[in-house]
Structure 1
Amino acid sequence: MTLAELTLEQIEKLATRRRECSAETGVDKTVLLNASKGNIVDDPKLNEHIFCVFKKTDFMDEAGNFQNEVLQKKITDAINDAELARKLIEVCSIKRRLHS
C-alpha cells in the first residue's frame, strides 16, 4: 500500500481547518491529541470536530453524506492509484451520523 504524502500547502490548509473546527466545536485538546494518536473515544465534541473537518474539506456535505466523487479525486491524487482509492472509499464510507 502506498502512503500519501501531503504537500506543504495541503498540510497548512488542513491545519487551518482543524484549528477552525477546534475553535468552533470546543473539543477538548487532550481528546483531540489522543484521537490523533489513534485513541478515539465517543465524545460528542470530537464527533462534531471530525464532521466539521470533513465538511470543510468537502469530504461530506451538510447532511453528513460522503461526497464520493470528491473523495475519489482527492485520494487518487494523493496515492496515485484510482482502484485503491475506490476500494478505500468503499470500505471507509460507512454512513454514520458523526454529530448529535
Structure 2
Amino acid sequence: MKLGVALCVLGLAVAIEGLSEEQKKRLEEYSKECLEVSKVEEAVLKEAEKGVFLDDPKLKVHALCFSKKIHMQNEKGEIQVDVIKEKLTSQIKSAEEVEKVVKLCLVQKDTPENTAFEGLQCLQKNVPKDVVLF
C-alpha cells in the first residue's frame, strides 16, 4: 500500500489510485462507518497515519470496527485466522511468511478492542505494503 492520495483507517495509509473502484468505494464506506462509531479525533488518526498509535479508547473502537469490516474479527471480537490467512496467502507467495505474520499479529488479547488495535498495528508493520486486506 504505497503512500499517495490516502484515506486513514487506523493509520493504514492506503493509496487509492491502485485500487479498483469497488475497493475504493468499500474503503470509503468503512472509513465513514467506523468514524461514526468511534468518534475518534482527527488528530489521533493523523498520528496513527504517521505510525504513532496513541493509547486512545476511541482509536481502539475504530480499530475494532475496521477489523470487523475486513473480517479479521467476528461480531464477538474473535480473531478469524482462516479469513486473514486466505487474504494473505492470495497475495504473499511464501507460505512461511504468511505463517510468520499470522502467528505474530493475529493474537487474541484481553479485549476485542485491544486485539484489533494491536493486530492492525502489527499487520501494518509486518505485511508487504502492496497487500490489501479489505
TM-score normalized with structure 1 length = 0.81
Q: Give every structure 1 segment of 4 or more consecutive aligned residues whose post-TM-superposition deviation is greater than 4 Å.
A: none
Q: Which runs of 5+ in 2 are unaligned?
A: 3-14, 115-134
* Cα pair distance change 1:11/1:74, threshold 3 Å: farther
Q: 2:77 aligns with which of 49, 59, 64?
A: 64
Q: Which has the higher contact order (CA 8 A, sep 6+)?
A: 1
Two-structure CA RMSD over aligned residues (Å): 2.1
Paired amino acid for 1:87? K
Distance 2:27 2:91 in 1: 14
Shift of 1:70: 0.2
Of Structure 1 and Structure 2, which has the larger fraction of its residues in helix? Answer: 1
Structure 2 residue aligned with 1:86: 99
Following the alignment from structure 2 to structure 1, what is the Cα–Cα distance between the partners of residues 86 and 77?
19
The answer to whether the aligner puts 1:32 opposite 2:45 as a matched pair is yes
Percent identical among aligned pairs is: 32
Paired residues of 1:72 and 1:82 also in contact (CA < 8 A): no
Which residue does 1:7 correspond to in 2? Answer: 19
Tell me by how many angstroms 1:43 deviates: 0.5
1:84–1:10 distance in 2 versus 1, CA, 3 Å? farther
Taking the aligned partners of 1:71 and 1:46, their CA distance within structure 2 comes to 21
Q: Which moved more, 1:51-60 or 1:15-24?
A: 15-24
Deviation at 1:17, TM superposition (A): 0.8
Instruction: Mark the runs of 5 or more structure 1 residues left unpaired by the alignment.
Output: none
Aligned residues: 96
What SS does the aligned partner of 1:75 have? helix
